[in-house]
Structure 1
C-alpha cells in the first residue's frame, strides 16, 4: 500500500507532495514552509527518508534543503543542476527505494524542457508505475514554460518539452497519476488549464504537447502563448541554487502610527492587506493595497523593488501570519514591521483616512468618453489583445509603479479583468496623488454596459 498527500500552495499556484508506504516517505518539491510537510508525515506516522527536487525552481524558494537537514533525509537533486550545497546527484534511470516494506521505488526520468536539468520521478509499486511527479514538465493539458532559464535556450527547451512529454506518455501506463508541481495558477505554466487531477491516459487525449500534429506545430504554439514573467523570478533560481536560509516566521516588530508615518516618509513600502472594498473606503495615505486573499506573494513580489523594506498592515494577527508565511515562500523573509487593526489604529491622532471611489463598467459607460476622463487598463498584453475599451491607455499593473508619469492627466478610471489588480493599481495611483476611480467589475461586462470594446 502507498499514499500520496498533496501539499497545496494555492497563492503561488503550486503543489508539493509527500508519498510513501508504511514506514518511510519522500517529499517532492516541498514549499519553504516545511512545517506543513513535517505535519503531514506525522499524521501518516512515517519518517521522511528522502527529499526530491524535480528542478531548481524559478518561482518559489524551496524548503527542500532545510527539510533534508532537519529530518536527516537524503536530498535528491538532478545531477546537472548547479547548486552550492551537498546533495545526492540524480541521473536518468536512478532508482531510490522509498519504502522497502511497501515495495515503493522512485525512478528518475530525465525530462528537460522547463529547465535543462529537469527530472521527473515515477513512483513504482512492485515494479509498476502508479504515479509520476512531473514538476514543470507534463502539466494538466500543457507543459511548463521553457523561457525562464535563458532567452537563447527558449526554443531548444520548448522542443525538449515536446520530447519529454512524449517520453512520459510512451513509457508510463495510462493509469499512472500525473502529479505536477506547477499549473494551478502558477506563472511557471505555459497556459492555464481546467482541472486539478489527471493521468497519463487523460493527457494523451488532451495535452497540447501530445495532441499537436508535430513538434514544429507544438513549439510555435507554445512560444506564441508565452506571457510576462514575474520580475522576482530572476531571484528565485539563484536563491535555490545557493541554498535558502532557514525560515523564520516569528512575528515582526510592531509599528505604531509614528513609525508607519516615518517609513512612508522614507519611501518604504507600507502594504495594506485588507480587501479592496475596505481599503478604498479608508486607508492611510501613501499605503498600497494588495489583498491578502488574492495572489499576495505573486503580485507584491512582482511589484516591489527587490530588497526594499516592507511594512504590513493587517486586520487580524491571523491575516498577518498567513501573509508573512506566503511572502517568505518567494524570498520576502522578514517584514520590516507590521501592525494590526484598521486606519484608526494606524493614523496619528487627528489624522484622516484617505479614500477613493469604486465603480462598475456601467458607471464608466455613463461618463465615457468625456473630457478629463482617462481609462487605464492594467491587464497583461495577452488579455488586452482579446478585447479592450476603445481609447483606453494600457500599462500592465506590474509596470505601473515605474511608469506613473505616463498616465495622462485627468481622472483615472482603472480596470483589470476582475477588480483585484485594478485595486492594486488604484492604490499606487492614489498614493502618487492622482484622482482615481477603481473599476471593480469583470471585464466581460464592459461591452454589455455599452462601452466600445475592440480587439487588437
Structure 2
C-alpha cells in the first residue's frame, strides 16, 4: 500500500504532505503545529523516518526541525542552506531510501529561492510523484521576488528553467504535490485546481506553454505586495524552530485590557465583522477568525508588539494561537473570552455602521463622503471606484493621516479587510467610519463610477 496524504493549512494557502507505504512514512514541508502530523501518522499506523524541506520558507515557520526531533527522523535540508542546526545535508541527484520499495530523489529547482529542491518519490525505481514546494505549482510557479529586487530577474529565469527541468525529466503521469498555490502569497498567481500531473501542467501552466521572455514579462507584471512578516520567517527557519507552546495565555479582566490599550499594545477582537460593528471595546482591532486572520494580523502588527486576544470561547483563542505560531507569533500576552460588555467593564461599547455599495450610491448624492479602497494595488488596477482614495490595508497604519477628513466609507473586495481598516481608523481617533460590507463586484450595477482596463467606466469589475 502506498499513500500520499495532504495536510492543508488553508488560512496560509499551503499544504504539507505525509507519504507512506503502510509502515514507514516521510513528511514534506511540515507546518509549525506538528501535532497534526503526528496525529495523522498515528491514525495511519505508520512510523515517520524522514522529514524533507524543499526550501527555507518565507511564509511560515517550519515544523520540520521539531518534528524530526520528536520522531527521531532524519531531517533533510539543502546542504547549501546556511542553517545553524544539525541536519542531513541533501543536494541535486541525491537518493534517499525510505522503505524497501520507496525512495526519494532530490532535484535542484532554484527560482523561488536559490537553493530550492524538489523531491521525486520513486516506487520500485519508477517516479510516481513530485513534491515541488515553491517551484512548479498548479497553473503557476512560486514567486521569484521574495529575496529582494536585486535577485528577482535572476530567480524568475531560474524558475522558468526549473519548471522545464521537472517537465522534461518526469513522465506525464507523475502526480504533482506543491506546497504553495492554495492562496499563499508565495504563489505568483492563484489556481482553483486541487490536483494535477506533470502532463496536465504541460498543457495548461504558463511556465510550460509560454516562451521564456513572455512568461517572465507576464509573471513580473502580475506580482503584488507580500506580507511584512515574511521578513522574519527565513531567519527563524534557519535557526531551527522548536515546538510551539499552545497553552492558554493569562486571562485579562476589563481593567487589564484598558491598561494594555493605554500602553499601546494590540488588543484584537476575533469575532466576525458583523458582531464587531455591533459593539466592541474602544481601541480594539478586528481581525476575525472567519478570514485570513494570521496573514493580515502578521502583516500589520509592528513586530514584537504585545498581543491580547478577545473571543467568545476559549476554543477560538486556541484556534488563533495555532494560526499565529505558524508565522512566529508564539505567545499572546493575554486573552479574554465571553461578551464585549464584560471586556468593557464600566466603559461604553463603540459601534460603526455597515452598508452596501447601493447605500453608497444613494448617499453620495446627498452629502460628501470619503471612499477609501484598502485593496492591494493589483486588485485596484483591475477595477476601482473612480472617486476612491486608494491606500492598501498593509500601508494604512503609516498613512492614516493621508485619509481625508470627513465621513469615511471603507471598502475592500468583500468586507473582511474593510472591517480591519475601519477598526484601525477608529483606534486612531476617526469617529465617522462606515464599513462597506459588500462584494465589490456589485458596485458597477449600482451606478457607481467603476473604472477598469475596459474603459473609463464599466458595468463589470474585477475582484
- TM normalised by structure 2 equals 0.96
1:406 corresponds in structure 2 to 402
1:142 corresponds in structure 2 to 140
Cα offset, 1:293, TM superposition: 1.7
Which residues of 2 match residues 42-441 of structure 1 at below 5 A? 42-100=42-100, 103-212=101-210, 214-349=211-346, 351-368=347-364, 371-434=367-430, 435-441=432-438
Cα offset, 1:150, TM superposition: 2.9
1:18 corresponds in structure 2 to 18
Cα offset, 1:371, TM superposition: 4.7
- 1:221-268 deviation line (CA, Å, top 9, x unaligned): 111111101100000011101111321001000010000000001111
Q: 1:451 aligns with which of 448, 451, 462?
A: 448
**Is the CA contact (8 Å cut-off) linking 1:372 and 1:409 kept in structure 2?**
no
1:35 corresponds in structure 2 to 35
- 1:173-198 deviation line (CA, Å, top 9, x unaligned): 11111000001000000011111111
- 1:30-84 deviation line (CA, Å, top 9, x unaligned): 0000000011111111111000000000000000001001111000001111111
Stretches of structure 2 that go unaligned for 5 or more consecutive residues are 454-463
**Is the CA contact (8 Å cut-off) linking 1:2 and 1:19 kept in structure 2?**
yes
Distance 1:228 1:358 in 2: 28
Distance 1:108 1:16 in 2: 17
Equivalent position SS for 1:58: coil
- 1:142-184 deviation line (CA, Å, top 9, x unaligned): 0000011132111111011111111111111111110000010
Distance 1:369 1:39 in 2: 58
- 1:308-346 deviation line (CA, Å, top 9, x unaligned): 011000111111101100001000100000011121120
Distance 1:370 1:327 in 2: 44
Equivalent position SS for 1:403: helix
Distance 1:192 1:365 in 2: 32
Distance 1:381 1:36 in 2: 36
1:2 corresponds in structure 2 to 2
- 1:77-116 deviation line (CA, Å, top 9, x unaligned): 011111111101111111111122xx01100010000000
**Is the CA contact (8 Å cut-off) linking 1:358 and 1:440 kept in structure 2?**
yes
- TM normalised by structure 1 equals 0.98
Cα offset, 1:455, TM superposition: 2.6
Distance 1:208 1:72 in 2: 41
2:459 corresponds in structure 1 to none
**Is the CA contact (8 Å cut-off) linking 1:290 and 1:296 kept in structure 2?**
yes
Distance 1:333 1:99 in 2: 36
Distance 2:356 2:237 in 1: 43
Runs (4 or more) in structure 1 with deviation over 4 Å come to none
Would you say how many aligned residue pairs link Structure 1 and Structure 2?
Answer: 452
Cα offset, 1:202, TM superposition: 0.6
Equivalent position SS for 1:65: helix
Equivalent position SS for 1:267: coil
Stretches of structure 1 that go unaligned for 5 or more consecutive residues are none
With over 3 angstroms needed to count, the CA separation of the structure-2 counterparts of 1:370 and 1:98, relative to structure 1, is farther
Equivalent position SS for 2:303: coil
Equivalent position SS for 2:48: strand
Cα offset, 1:370, TM superposition: 5.6
